[in-house]
């Protein structure tokens, strides 16, 4: 692997160092929820089984939807950056949104030309679409949200040490990469029902937080909590396509179901749509009844 520190001028050429490559990819993909997966996630079944380092042993069930939901807007983002190896820090829970382009290991001249094109103002998404040999080229090089342990070591080291919107370059057994981190986030957080109850006593919290219940209408009739908007999971296809017009991705969002399973699915999906702070209510309304308010019926 190689990277350039500091700022790279347009006239510079990459110093390609010999590197030893791992013959066996040893990592496994953490099972993730695929809800109406955008195209750049669907091709993971082939290329990314290798690139992300392992086998997909199991996937949680898809939530059926007639309307595929895409990560929108990222290929069009104007990201100006210098080539750098600065570190923004990393944690086991941190997730990053990665864009890259890939050329063959022996295409050194093309690689240098692409760096110059980028420094001259061309978009990474356009360069990836035209020149990259990665299947993500059809989505402007967007690989999606990834976390530690999901990528081959050389790529992972470069990506997780990169500062936001700075371009780094690395070499893996797949070829030469230009990559940049477009955004970062923490994964879905769990909140216990006791803590939620305490927060709900604060009028400011009730006014500012987004509380959503993904149970079905017949369940809501039996038991419900005040302040929660209902987004039935079985009606996902009707409310999901314009979710950002119904909810604010910048606000804290708390998701409730009966025992916590369905809410975790929706919480993960909301985060994939750009929601910054999503909480899954552990144990759902069942736990709320048992631990906080026994007057709420169980079923």
Catalytic residue numbers, as ranges: 257
Q: Which of 48, 58, 26 is nearest to 100 (CA)?
A: 48
Q: Which residue is listed with tokens 């290991």?
A: 105
214 token code pair = 């993904």
In whole angstroms, give the CA distance from residue 49 to residue 41. Answer: 11
4 token code pair = 């350039």
- Burial class from Cβ neighbours inside 10 Å (0-12, 13-18, 19+) for residue 84 reads buried
Tell me the Ramachandran region of residue 27: left when phi exceeds 0, alpha when psi lies from -120 to 50, beta otherwise.
Answer: beta
Tell me the Ramachandran region of residue 5: left when phi exceeds 0, alpha when psi lies from -120 to 50, beta otherwise.
Answer: beta
> Is there a contact between 175 and 105 (Cβ–Cβ < 8 Å)?
yes
Q: What torsion, rounded to 10 degrees, do the Cα atoms 244, 247, 253, 256 define?
A: -110
**Cα–Cα distances in Å, from 297 out to 99, 197, 232, 278, 288?**
48, 16, 19, 26, 10
In whole angstroms, give the CA distance from residue 223 to residue 106. Answer: 63
């Amino acid at each position: 692997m190689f990277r350039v520190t500091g700022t790279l001028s347009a006239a510079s050429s990459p110093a390609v160092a010999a590197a030893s490559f791992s013959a066996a990819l040893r990592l496994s993909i953490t099972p993730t929820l695929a809800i109406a997966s955008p195209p750049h996630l669907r091709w993971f079944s082939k290329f990314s089984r290798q690139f992300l380092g392992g086998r997909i042993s199991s996937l949680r069930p898809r939530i059926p939807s007639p309307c595929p939901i895409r990560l929108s807007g990222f290929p069009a983002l104007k990201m100006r950056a210098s080539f750098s190896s600065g570190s923004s820090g990393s944690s086991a829970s941190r997730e990053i949104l990665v864009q890259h382009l890939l050329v063959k290991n022996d295409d050194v001249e093309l690689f240098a030309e692409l760096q110059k094109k980028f420094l001259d103002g061309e978009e990474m998404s356009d360069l990836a679409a035209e020149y990259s040999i990665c299947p993500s080229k059809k989505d402007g090089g967007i690989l999606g949200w990834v976390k530690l342990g999901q990528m081959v070591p050389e790529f992972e080291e470069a990506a997780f040490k990169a500062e936001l919107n700075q371009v780094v370059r690395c070499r893996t057994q797949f070829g030469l990469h230009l990559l940049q981190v477009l955004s970062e986030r923490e994964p879905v957080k769990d909140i216990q029902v006791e803590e939620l109850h305490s927060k709900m006593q604060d009028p400011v919290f009730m006014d500012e937080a987004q509380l959503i219940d993904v149970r079905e209408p017949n369940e809501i009739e039996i038991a419900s909590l005040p302040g929660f908007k209902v987004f039935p999971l079985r009606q996902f296809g009707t409310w999901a396509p314009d979710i950002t017009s119904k909810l604010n991705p910048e606000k804290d969002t708390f998701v409730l179901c009966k025992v916590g399973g369905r809410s975790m699915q929706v919480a993960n999906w909301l985060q994939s749509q750009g929601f910054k702070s999503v909480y899954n209510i552990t144990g759902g309304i069942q736990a709320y009844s048992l631990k906080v308010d026994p007057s709420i019926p169980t079923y």
